Amino acid sequence: MPADLDTLWGRGRDFLGCELAIMGGAMSWVSERHLVAAISNAGGFGVIACGAMTPALLEAEIAATQALTDRPFGVNLITMHPDLDDLVRVCLAARVGHVVLAGGIPPGAAVRAVKDGGAKLIAFAPALVLARRLVRSGADAIVIEGSEAGGHIGPVSLNVLAQEILPHLREVPVFVAGGLGRGEAILGYLEMGAAGAQLGTRFAASAESIAHPNFKQAFIRANARDALPSVQLDARFPVIPVRGLVNAGTDRFMAHQADVIRRFQAGELGKEAAQLDIERFWAGALRRAVIDGDVEHGSVMAGQSVGMVSGIQTVAEILAELVGQMRAVLAARA
């Protein structure tokens, strides 16, 4: 007798405290109170993207989210944030039950603070060896995110990460992320041992998302092949890969890199100044795309699942569609 869906993702549901073991990806400027509350109210698990927020701004965002939902939700904190310790304290004071530490190996002090404060800690792992290390250091759950995802990405696809990690890491729930757009794919990973899934791109184009209509329409028009990682021209000047829709801004970034490298080689810029110049190119570009609607020159971060965004749906409709696709497969087998 094949396992039913409640059994397959029961561990993930219990860990998150929600009906559906589907997390919302933490997307800067997008994963704010409205989208987070909508995901949690529809039975999933919303996650606030703290990003560069100050502790005061995060405190206000958590309170505003709690005013919109009485369901569980989490907060994603970037480990490199200069006020990380204060941000953790804000989460604990607001009784946030789940804290996600992303963007690097979580500092020991932050891990201890989350654990001592009674919250559950979720961390990202790009390899099995690091996943095991994170579990030993206190992570209560792991997210493995493939390079198909939007935004900042690693080099390995979810398909490979899942095969490397899911059969061997059983101590904590493991959630899969990256390029997920249909229920059948999520079901396949649940059957491999995943406890649940995390989706970002489909929720970014939802009715409840505050993203500009231009941003959502860009998603609807795009195909998977349009969502490409940023390109690094010179190994001396590393560029952290970011997956987004190719546009005029992408072309300008390539030209900008080439110009900075030329100036460095001519002695007009030092190495540190050149690196900073390249890194500053995209400053504010995500906000320009998401909030202002400049999808030609802004950074339109999107995963390869963008090709599965065919229209604007409510969060509840997206979740119902995903669950319906999973249940249809299980019913066909039965």
CATH number reported for the structural domain that contains residue 145 in this entry = 3.20.20.70
Per the domain annotation, does 216 fall within a domain? Answer: no
Residues 162 and 240 in one domain: no
Q: In this predicted structure, what is the pLDDT of residue 283?
A: 85
Q: In this predicted structure, what is the pLDDT of residue 327?
A: 97
Residues 95 and 160 in one domain: yes
Q: How many CA atoms lie within 13 A of 326 on its CB side?
A: 30
As averages over each run of 10 residues, the pLDDT of the chain (334 residues) reads 86 98 97 98 98 97 98 97 97 98 95 98 97 97 98 95 97 98 98 98 98 98 97 93 96 94 96 93 93 97 98 98 98 92
- Taking Cα atoms as reference points, which of 140, 163, 178, 137 lies closest to residue 304? 178
| Structural domain boundaries, residue 120 | 5-209+311-333
Residues 270 and 162 in one domain: no
Per the domain annotation, does 22 fall within a domain? Answer: yes
Residues 239 and 157 in one domain: no
Q: In this predicted structure, what is the pLDDT of residue 120?
A: 98
DSSP string, 267-308: TSS-HHHHHHHHHTTTTTHHHHHHTS--TTTS--B--GGGGG
Residues 69 and 128 in one domain: yes
Per the domain annotation, does 49 fall within a domain? Answer: yes
Q: In this predicted structure, what is the pLDDT of residue 240?
A: 87
CA–CA gap between residue 11 and residue 46 (Å, rounded): 17
Residues 104 and 141 in one domain: yes
Q: In this predicted structure, what is the pLDDT of residue 30?
A: 98
CA–CA gap between residue 136 and residue 233 (Å, rounded): 38
Residues 297 and 315 in one domain: no
228 forms bridges with which residues in the sheet? Answer: 244
Per the domain annotation, does 33 fall within a domain? Answer: yes
Residues 320 and 200 in one domain: yes
Per the domain annotation, does 231 fall within a domain? Answer: yes
3-state class percentages of the chain: helix first, strand second, coil last, to nearest 5? 45, 15, 40
CA–CA gap between residue 291 and residue 283 (Å, rounded): 14
Residues 243 and 121 in one domain: no
Residues 83 and 175 in one domain: yes
Residues 195 and 231 in one domain: no
- Taking Cα atoms as reference points, which of 223, 190, 216, 227 lies closest to residue 322? 190
- Taking Cα atoms as reference points, which of 202, 220, 203, 200 lies closest to residue 295? 220
Residues 193 and 326 in one domain: yes
Q: In this predicted structure, what is the pLDDT of residue 2?
A: 59
CA–CA gap between residue 65 and residue 34 (Å, rounded): 7
How many structural domains compose the chain?
2
